[in-house]
Amino acid sequence: MAALLRMAGAVAALGAALVALAVGAAPSALAAVPWLALPLVAAGLGQGVVAVLALRGRPLPAVAVLAPLALPTVAWVAALAALPGAAAVLPLGPMLGESALALAAAALLARPHPAGSDEPRAVPALLSIAASATVVAAVATAALAGTEAGRYAVPHGEHDGHGGHGAVQQVHEGDAPAIDESLLEHHGHH
């Protein structure tokens, strides 16, 4: 059971890391509140490291988990209380999403684990990762959409006007080059 909780915590930590990096590395945050944005970027990097180590099954001391996962939320809430105008530069929705994911990951990863290795069986491990990834994806996607990076993202399936990759393009008559039918006859296609 501890291994399943560790995997779910690792997935939550990864989601928190992505949001922390997107919020902290935003040019507007770096320019307006670098004293809050730079530690958020550092926390995002730390959260990513915690996620990788937890997925690898490494036992992590509670302080190594709590520092990158819980301290950003504490710093953000303290900044909101002390300097609400400055801290309001950071977007509320993404910061709430990051905090929820980070605190959930901290709760799952900072728990004392019983001695001995309890490798989960394949099906419970797969279900644990799938369930946690579903929840984390929903929270992280909503949070990332509210970041500066999210505002500039091209919606999936829409044409960006520059032939963007992955976008559906409509071809109108006259847009496509003419096919040289002699090449089709040469290769046996009619």
Q: What is the pLDDT of residues 53-97, one digit of tens each?
A: 998 887 788 888 999 999 889 988 988 899 888 788 889 999 999
176 pLDDT higher than 70: no
Closest CA to 12 of 110, 112, 116, 155: 110
Alpha carbon 32 to chain centroid, angstroms: 23
Overall average pLDDT of the 159-184 stretch: 55
Q: What is the pLDDT of residue 51?
A: 94
pLDDT at residue 52 in the model? 94
Domain ranges of the chain: 2-113+120-152
Helix (H, G, I), strand (E, B), or coil: what is residue 83?
coil
What burial letters (b/e) apply to 4-28, b meaning 16+ CB within 10 Å? bbbbbbbbbbbbbbbbbbbbbbbee
User: Number of C-alpha atoms within 13 angstroms, CB side, residue 125?
Assistant: 11
Distance CA 60, CA 45 (A): 16
Joined together, the tokens standing for residue 10 give 């690792």
Over residues 135-158, the pLDDT tens digits come to 999 999 889 998 988 888 777 666
Given a cut of 80, whether residue 123 has pLDDT beyond it is: yes
**pLDDT more than 70, % of the chain:** 77
Nearest to 137 by CA among 48, 20, 16, 30: 16
pTM score, whole prediction: 0.75
